[in-house]
Amino acid sequence: MAGHRAAILFNRDLFKFLKHERLQILHISKELLKEEQKLADEENTKEIQNKLNEINNQISSLNYVASALENVNIELSELSVDNEDQKIRFIAGESDAGKLLDNLTLSFSTGDNLLSIGGDGRNNQIFLATWIAKQNIQKNVDHVTFYAIEEPEAHLHPHQQRKLSTYIQEKFGEQVFITTHSPHIASKFNPANIVRLYTIKKKTYAACSGCSDFMKVAFQDFGYRLNALSAECFFVNGVFLVEGVSEVLFYTALAKEIGVDLDRTNISILSVEGVGFKPYIAVCNALNISWVMRTDNDVFAKPNKKPTKNYYAGISRVMGILTQFKDEDNELIKYWNEHDNENEWEYKKKPPKEAIDLNTYIREEITQYGIYLSMFDLETDLAKSSIKNILKEYYGKKRENSLIKAMQTHKAKNMMDFLSEKRSELGVLREDDISKPLIALRSSVEERIHPKHD
| Cβ proximity of 415 and 383 under 8 Å | no
The HSE-up count of residue 229 (CA atoms within 13 Å, CB side) is: 11
C-beta of residue 164 within 8 angstroms of C-beta of residue 152: yes
d(CA 98, CA 45): 7
Whole-angstrom Cα distance, residue 372 to residue 376? 12
Closest CA to 283 of 335, 342, 217: 217
- Helices 278-286, 213-220: axis angle to 10 degrees equals 160
DSSP H or E stretch at residue 271? strand 267-271
pTM of the model: 0.69
Q: Which residues neighbour 453 within 8 Å (Cβ) at sequence distance 6 or greater?
A: none
State which of 232-241, 303-312, 336-345 shows the largest mean pLDDT.
336-345
Three-state SS at 376? coil
On average, the pLDDT of the chain sits at 81
Average pLDDT for residues 320-348, to the nearest whole number? 92
- Which pLDDT belongs to residue 310? 94
pLDDT surpassing 90 at residue 85: no
Selected residue with higher pLDDT from 112 and 178: 178
- Can you tell me the distance from the alpha carbon of 412 to that of 369, in angstroms, rounded to the nearest whole number? 28
Segment holding 143, helix H or strand E: strand 143-150
pLDDT above 70 covers a percentage of the chain that reads 74
CB environment 327-362: b (16+ within 10 A), e (fewer): eeeeebeeebeeeeebbbbeeeeebeeebeebbeeb
The predicted model gives 351-380 an average pLDDT of 96
Q: What span, in angstroms and rounded, lies between the C-alpha atoms of 165 and 153? A: 8
DSSP 352: P
pLDDT of residue 8: 45
Compute φ and ψ for 147, nearest 5 degrees.
-120, 145
Verify cis geometry, omega within 30 degrees of 0, for the bond prior to 191. no
